A and B are shown apart, each in its own frame.
Chain A
Amino acid sequence: MRIGLGILLLCVGCARAAIVFDQPKVDVTAESTDSQAQAVFHFRNTGDRAVEITEMKPSCSCTAAQLARTRYAPGEGGDLHAAMWIIGVMGDDTKTITVKTNDGAPPQKLTFHVHVNTLARIDPEALFWGRGYKTGSADVHIRFPEADEPAQSVKIIANPDRLDTSLQTIEPGRKYQLEVTPKSVASCWRENVVIEVAFPHIGVRRYTCYANVK
């Protein structure tokens, strides 16, 4: 009895998935202006019985998975369509989709990796000075690592009553360094430092760095 149960458990544990995905990991590149990235996971039922896909569970509510239907005959193929909402995502993001079937095979994990081309990187996006402490300058690094074209111009807009700013070109059209110095840190305030970038074809884009005295 015990041996039989053991063999049964062993068989369940070793059950080979009939649904086989061509690529369990899909890499996608998206633009920062896109609202979602899409991926297709192609699969085939390699078993000798019809299989039903019973569950597709994304790791995040920002990702959705969809199938045209759930039951696949032996030898039949299908596509699992996945969509990831990427508004505000910078750089790389990875989500997983766990797929369960009714054939006793263990759940399969699909990986959806997206690289969002980021036009500009402002580092840091916020600067802080302690109220009543010594006034000092802080640097903001401005880069356009994935823009297809170099920036034509970079303009800084800040309240001159509160802040001194100085922009230095490190690599024309690609890398800049902005030095920000508060004129006084006697009281608490926040000022927006707007970085206005003009690209030849993309047009003008505005980014904000927040200068704060706390």
Chain B
Amino acid sequence: MRDALRILGLALILAVVSYGWHARHGRIEGESASIPRIPLAAAAREHSILWLDARPEEDYDRGHVPGALPLRPGSWDAEFPAVIDRWQPGNKVVVYCRSDSCETSEAVARRLIEATKWPDVYVLEGGWEAWATGSKH
């Protein structure tokens, strides 16, 4: 019993030390930092948003957030220059894909941050589904 408690205590100490180390030295290698999410209500209050649509072309053609530019991993080279041209200092950039379960918006946002070093890049919570539902109310 005493040995078990001793092992448990040691494991706890190691866990605390490991947590402290990672907190101080940033994220663990191979682990990518997640992109901040912005709820639709908060995004709607912003005046200078650059919307980026990461869904497939046919979805974008069927409907998109007014003013949104397409930016997808598969057509990055063709679409990226227009995004740069539209962006203005002080803009918040919000990327969306179909819903929370798609991962393209996160991938696009991550690459955008790497490519531009823009400070305010977000993923829309709920994606296009949230927008489509929200705009009906």
Give the CA-CA distance A137 to B72 in the complex, in Å.
Answer: 30
Give the CA-CA distance A58 to B34 in the complex, in Å.
Answer: 20
Residues 82 to 124 of chain B near chain A (Cβ within 8 Å): 84-85, 87-89, 97-98, 101-104, 107, 111, 114-117
Q: Which residues of A contact B80 (CB under 8 A)?
A: 125-126, 210
Query: A81: CB under 8 A from chain B?
Result: no
A61 and B56 form a contact (CB under 8 A): yes
Q: Which of B55, B72, B97, B117 contacts A88 (CB 8 A)?
A: B72
Query: B77: CB under 8 A from chain A?
Result: yes
A-B contact count (CB 8 A): 58
A49-83 vs B: 1/0 string, CB under 8 Å? 00000000001111000000000000000000000
Residue tally, chain B, CB below 8 Å to A: 27
Using known A-B contacts A88-B77, A125-B116, A190-B84, determine if residue A214 contacts B102 with beta carbons closer than 8 Å: no
Q: Which of B76, B84, B98 contacts A61 (CB 8 A)?
A: B98
Q: Which of B81, B102, B111 contacts A210 (CB 8 A)?
A: B81
List 23 interface pairs A-B (beta carbons < 8 Å), by A numbering: A60-B102, A60-B103, A61-B55, A61-B56, A61-B98, A62-B74, A86-B73, A87-B75, A88-B72, A88-B73, A88-B74, A89-B73, A93-B107, A124-B115, A125-B80, A125-B116, A126-B84, A126-B116, A128-B116, A210-B80, A210-B84, A214-B87, A214-B88
